[in-house]
């Protein structure tokens, strides 16, 4: 390491990680020597103490790299969600370096978004995206800390509770059958698939015949929300329905139009069927709620429901485990037989009889009790 003069300016000359580096400092030799000393200290910290300076990566630049990662590793819908979240996050942290963003800034961001009448759920999705960005930045050695770790999510209102009772399912299917032939012919198997698999609409509409195994009686889903492959069994009702679906000679998709193109959306026909069935406050996604809710009401354990639904977190499954009031009443009613075994159905002893006031009718007396009664 050394300082040298070239023309009117002083330079520093040093080696870092095996590479020779020269930098112009200015007209002051004293300043050049001071800068060289600082460089020596920084190199010593890295080599001997493992202390590294934060890399100066702008948030807006890192967003581009993260979105490239998201596009390659996440499902399409998740990638689109990241794009939406990062548009708002970039407005707030655009020109800051990654290491300059602090927890308090993120808390202020949450407050600002609430003042803009943004829902807590949307803000939580944005904060979750930011947290994952920093997790990857740590993994890639772009930063030393994740400021989002200490940031808590906002409380969200309870999830929407809506699923069909058995009689409502019958009404919906009858309503679909009463639609025009071209509508009912494609809509019925789609709805029956949703009711018996719990698949998302996008997963159903993108389903290919190669993913339907009639022999093993299972449907393999590749384009999932979590970008993972999962298999869902085919029950008898779905088996019969899929067998009746006409295969298009030139299309790989199960549900497609006459040209072989998969249906992009079935909202209009589905809403017409729901309206004609006089079912209120019900969307296509609620068929997924219906699938999970009836599984739980039939006694299926939540871990199995979680696997069938493709949830990474059991908390998500709990949102679908809604039980009807009638089912809850039936569950509590099962205790009637238990209490009968202990004589609770018998008439209580007279309160006017001091001898029996503390003794259960029909219950044997303890030794101490016998002594007091006698």
* Predicted model pTM: 0.60
Distance CA 152, CA 156 (A): 12
Residue 283: closest CA among 197, 183, 174, 200: 200
Contact predicate 36/3, CB 8 Å: yes
DSSP 157-175: PPPP-----HHHHHHHHHH
Distance CA 172, CA 148 (A): 46
Residue 254: closest CA among 313, 295, 195, 213: 213
6 phi and psi, to 5 degrees? -135, 110
Give the residue with greater pLDDT, 43 vs 219. Answer: 219
Q: What is the mean pLDDT of residues 218-235?
A: 82
Quote the tokens at residue 203. Answer: 């997963």
Note the pLDDT of residue 356.
Answer: 45
Q: How far is CA 305 from the centre of its chain?
A: 15
Distance CA 202, CA 227 (A): 13
Task: Look at the block and give the residue holding tokens 């002083």.
Answer: 10
DSSP 209-228: GGGEETTTTEEEE-S-TTS-
DSSP 268-312: HHHHHHHHHTT--S--TTHHHHHHHHHHHHTT--HHHHHHHHT-S
Q: Give residue-wise pLDDT tens across range 144-191.
A: 899 999 999 999 877 677 899 999 999 999 999 999 877 888 999 999
Q: Give residue-wise pLDDT tens across range 3-60.
A: 888 888 989 888 776 678 888 888 898 898 888 888 877 777 665 444 445 678 999 9
Please report which confidence band the pLDDT of residue 261 belongs to, taking 50, 70 and 90 as the band edges.
Answer: very high
Task: Give CB contacts under 8 A, 24+ apart, made by 250-253.
Answer: 252/208, 252/209, 252/210, 253/206, 253/207, 253/208, 253/209
| Ranges 112-116, 176-180, 323-327, 328-332: which has the least confidence | 323-327
Distance CA 207, CA 294 (A): 24
Please report which confidence band the pLDDT of residue 322 belongs to, taking 50, 70 and 90 as the band edges.
Answer: low
Residue 82: closest CA among 127, 136, 118: 127
Distance CA 228, CA 374 (A): 75
Distance CA 241, CA 55 (A): 58
CB neighbours of residue 66 within 10 Å: 21
Q: What is the mean pLDDT of residues 204-229?
A: 86
Give the residue with greater pLDDT, 66 vs 55. Answer: 66
């Amino acid at each position: 390491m050394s300082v040298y003069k070239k023309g009117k300016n002083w330079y520093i000359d040093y080696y870092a990680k095996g590479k020779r580096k020269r930098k112009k400092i200015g007209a002051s030799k004293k300043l050049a020597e001071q800068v060289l000393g600082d460089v020596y200290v920084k190199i010593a910290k890295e080599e001997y103490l493992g202390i590294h300076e934060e890399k100066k990566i702008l948030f807006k630049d890192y967003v581009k790299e993260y979105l490239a990662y998201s596009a390659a590793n996440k499902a399409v819908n998740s990638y689109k969600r990241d794009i939406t979240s990062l548009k708002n996050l970039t407005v707030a942290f655009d020109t800051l370096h990654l290491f300059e963003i602090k927890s308090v800034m993120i808390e202020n961001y949450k407050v600002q978004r609430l003042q803009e009448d943004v829902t807590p759920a949307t803000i939580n999705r944005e904060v979750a995206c930011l947290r994952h960005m920093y997790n990857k930045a740590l993994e890639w050695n772009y930063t030393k800390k994740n400021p989002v770790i200490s940031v808590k999510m906002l409380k969200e209102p309870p999830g929407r509770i809506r699923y069909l009772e058995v009689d409502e399912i019958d009404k919906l299917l009858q309503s679909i059958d009463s639609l025009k032939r071209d509508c009912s012919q494609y809509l019925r198997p789609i709805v029956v698939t949703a009711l018996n698999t719990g698949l998302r609409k996008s997963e159903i509409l993108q389903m290919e015949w190669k993913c339907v195994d009639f022999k093993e009686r299972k449907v393999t889903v590749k384009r999932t929300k979590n970008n993972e492959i999962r298999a869902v069994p085919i029950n008898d009702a779905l088996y019969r329905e899929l067998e009746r679906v006409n295969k298009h000679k030139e299309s790989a998709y199960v549900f497609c139009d006459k040209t072989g193109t998969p249906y992009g959306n079935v909202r209009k026909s589905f809403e017409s069927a729901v309206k004609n069935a006089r079912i209120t406050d019900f969307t296509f996604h609620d068929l997924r709620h219906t699938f999970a809710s009836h599984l739980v009401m039939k006694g299926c354990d939540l871990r199995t429901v979680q696997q069938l639904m493709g949830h990474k977190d059991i908390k998500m499954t709990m949102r679908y485990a809604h039980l009807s009031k009638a089912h809850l009443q039936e569950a509590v009613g099962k205790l009637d037989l238990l209490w009968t075994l202990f004589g609770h159905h018998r008439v209580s002893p007279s309160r006017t009889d001091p001898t029996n006031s503390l003794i259960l009718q029909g219950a044997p007396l303890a030794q101490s009790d016998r002594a007091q009664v006698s």
